[in-house]
Amino acid sequence: MKKNKEAIGHKPPIAAIATAMGEAGISVIRVSGRGVFDIISSVFRGKSLAGQASHTVHFGRMVEGGRVVDEVLVTLFRSPSSYTGEDTVEISCHGGVLVTQEILELVLRQGVRHANPGEFTLRAFLNGKLELTQAEAVADLIHARSKKAVEAAGQQLEGALGRYVQSFRQQIIDATAMVELELDFVEEDVEFADKERLRQLLEEVGSEIDRLLETYETGRIVRHGVQTVFAGRPNAGKSTLLNTLMGKDRAIVSATAGTTRDLIDAEWSYEGLTFILTDTAGLRETVDDIESEGVRRSESAVSNADLILYLKDLSEPFDPMEKSLLRRIQKSSEGRVLLKVGTKKDRLAEGEANCEECDLIISARTGEGIEELKKRMRSEVLKNRDIDTGGLLVTSSRHRDALIKARHHIDQSIAALKAGLSGDFLSIDLRGALNELGTITGEITTEDLLDSIFSRFCIGK
C-alpha cells in the first residue's frame, strides 16, 4: 500500500529528540511535516536548504538571532522517501543533554509542535509506509531484550505476519462477496456460493488461525522473557544459584537463614532466550515483620511466574514441614513449569541422596549439574517447541485476542452453514471475522486502537 507523493497528507510539523538523552558523541533531532525545509532554513546558517536533493547531508550552524547554538549536520529526506513519508529533516548535533534540548526548543519556537510518543511511526503508518504489524514491530525491536526477540520483531517488521493474515483474510473476502451476491438475488433463488466448498475453505482458514495461535505461548516468552522464580526454605541456596547463573555476585549470600528479604530481579540470557530471574525470601513461618512481608512477596512472585525453581537443600532432611511447603508451591504453580532442584550435592557423601522428588541435583560450589539445569530451564519452558527454525510467531496479546475472536466468528459461520441458516446470518459472522483480522493488518483501525499501540513507543520514534 505504498502511496505516491500526492496521496501523502503533509501534516503540521512535529519535532522530537530521536536519540537517548545523555552525554554522547552526537544526538539527533527529527523534524517532520509541512514546510520543514523552510522552517529549519530560517534557523540554519550554511548552504540554502531549499533546492537540495533528498538524502543529502549539509554542514552548518543552528543560530538564534546572531547567536550560534551548535555546529550541526542536517540530513534532508524529501517526501515520499522518508520514514514518515513527509518531508523530514534530521539534525545531528553535539550529544550533550543541554545543547540537544536547546536545539529542540529553538525548532519548537518556529511553530513546530513537540511529537507524541510514536507519532513519527503513526504518520508512517497513516501514509502507507508501514503496515500496522510492521509499526508494532518497530516498538518490539526497540524493546527487545534477547536475540530471539530481535529476530521475531525483525521478521514482523519485514511484514511476514501481516502478509500471512492478509492472505487468508482475502479468502474470506472472496467468500463473503459470493454469499452477499446471493442475498441480492434472493428472489431468483440462484446459488453463487458452493456451500460445501465454502465450508471447506472456512475450516482451512480456521486451522491456519489455530496454528498461529499455537505459536503465541512461545512468542510471548520470546518477546517478554521467561519469568523465573527461585523458591525454597531459607538457606536452600537460592541467592547462590542466582549468582552462579549470572556469573557475578548479584545477591547477598550468607550462612544465616533469612538473608534475602525482598525480591531481587536480574536478567539472564541463555541460548537466545531471556530469563528474568527473581530471587525471593526463603519461605518459612516468621514473626519478623520485614521477613514476613518478604515471604508474602515470594508467594505472590511464585503465582505470577512462568518457571518456578523449587530449591531443596540436600544436606537438610526433607521434613514434613518442607513437604507441606512444597505441596503449597505445587498448588500455586499449577499450569506453569515447576522444577524441583536438590542443592549442595557436594555436602552429601558418595551415593547418599534424600530427595526422590527432585528433578535434578546440583552443587553451586562445584558446578555439578549447572549446565544440565540451564538446558532443562530452556527446554521445559519451550516444551520442545522450536524457536530456531524461524517460523512465524505471534508475540503480541493484541494479535492473539483478535485471532481468537476471528476464530470464534469462523466457528459460528461453519455452524450456520451446517444448520442451513440463511446467507444473512453467514454474512454477519464472515464480516465479524474480517473485522477482527483487519485490526491485525491495520485495514480496520480506530483512534483508540492506534492510541494504545503508539503510546507504547518512545518519543522521537
Ligand X SMILES: Nc1nc2c(ncn2[C@@H]2O[C@H](COP(=O)(O)OP(=O)(O)OP(=O)(O)O)[C@@H](O)[C@H]2O)c(=O)[nH]1
CB 425, CB 416: distance < 8 Å: yes
Q: Does 215 bind Mg ion (CB under 5 A)?
A: no
Q: Using the rule CB under 6 A, which residue among 347, 352, 375, 379 binds ligand X? A: 347
Of 72-80, 258-266, 343-351, 423-431, which part binds Mg ion (CB under 5 A)? 258-266
Rounded CA-CA distance 429/346 in Å is: 64
With CB under 5 to 8 Å by kind, the binding choice for 149 among Mg ion, ligand X, none is none
CB nearer to ligand X: pick between 255 and 419: 255
Q: Does 244 bind Mg ion (CB under 5 A)?
A: no
With CB under 5 to 8 Å by kind, the binding choice for 235 among Mg ion, ligand X, none is ligand X
Residue given cell 534424600 in the structure block: 354
* CA angle, residues 416, 418, 420, in degrees to nearest 5: 70
Q: Using the rule CB under 6 A, which residue among 223, 344, 399, 409 binds ligand X? A: 344
CB 202, CB 410: distance < 8 Å: yes
Q: Using the rule CB under 6 A, which residue among 138, 245, 253, 387 binds ligand X? A: 253
CB 49, CB 36: distance < 8 Å: no
Q: Using the rule CB under 6 A, which residue among 11, 94, 147, 365 binds ligand X? A: 365
Q: Using the rule CB under 5 A, which residue among 259, 330, 332, 445 binds Mg ion? A: 259
Q: Please measure the distance between the N-terminal and C-terminal CA atoms of the chain and give it in whole angstroms.
A: 21
Of 43-51, 76-84, 236-244, 283-291, which part binds Mg ion (CB under 5 A)? 236-244
With CB under 5 to 8 Å by kind, the binding choice for 258 among ligand X, Mg ion, none is ligand X
- Footprint of ligand X on 255-274 (CB under 6 A): 255, 257-260
Identify any residues that bridge with 75 across adjacent strands, giving them in sequence order. 57, 90
Q: Does 240 bind Mg ion (CB under 5 A)?
A: no
Residue-wise DSSP of 376-415: HHHHHHHTT--SSS-------HHHHHHHHHHHHHHHHHHH
Number of residues interacting with ligand X: please give it, by CB under 6 A: 24
Q: Does 364 bind ligand X (CB under 6 A)?
A: yes
CB nearer to Mg ion: pick between 260 and 439: 260
Rounded CA-CA distance 324/330 in Å is: 10
| Strand-strand pairing, 24-32 and 14-17 | antiparallel
In angstroms, what is the minimal distance from the CB of 346 to ligand X?
A: 5
Identify any residues that bridge with 61 across adjacent strands, giving them in sequence order. 45, 71
Helix (H) or strand (E) holding 99: helix 97-108
CB nearer to Mg ion: pick between 243 and 413: 243
Q: Using the rule CB under 6 A, which residue among 32, 156, 218, 240 binds ligand X? A: 240
- Footprint of ligand X on 218-237 (CB under 6 A): 232, 234-237
Three-state SS for 359?
A: coil
Q: Does 295 bind ligand X (CB under 6 A)?
A: no
What is the dihedral angle through the alpha carbons of 392, 394, 396, 401, rounded to the nearest 10 degrees? 150
CB nearer to Mg ion: pick between 257 and 404: 257
Rounded CA-CA distance 41/31 in Å is: 12
Q: Does 342 bind ligand X (CB under 6 A)?
A: no
Q: Using the rule CB under 5 A, which residue among 133, 146, 176, 260 binds Mg ion? A: 260
Residue 174 DSSP class: H
Q: Does 369 bind ligand X (CB under 6 A)?
A: no
Q: Does 290 bind ligand X (CB under 6 A)?
A: no
CA distances from 62 to 56, 68, 77, 93 (A): 17, 6, 19, 9
Of 84-92, 358-366, 440-448, 453-461, which part binds ligand X (CB under 6 A)? 358-366
CB nearer to ligand X: pick between 223 and 345: 345
Residue-wise DSSP of 112-167: PEEPPTTHHHHHHHHTTSS-HHHHHHHHHHHH--SHHHHHHHHHHHTTHHHHHHHH
With CB under 5 to 8 Å by kind, the binding choice for 49 among Mg ion, ligand X, none is none
Chain residues binding Mg ion by CB under 5 A are 238-239, 259-260
Residues in the site for ligand X, rule: CB under 6 A? 232, 234-240, 253-255, 257-260, 281-282, 343-344, 346-347, 363-365
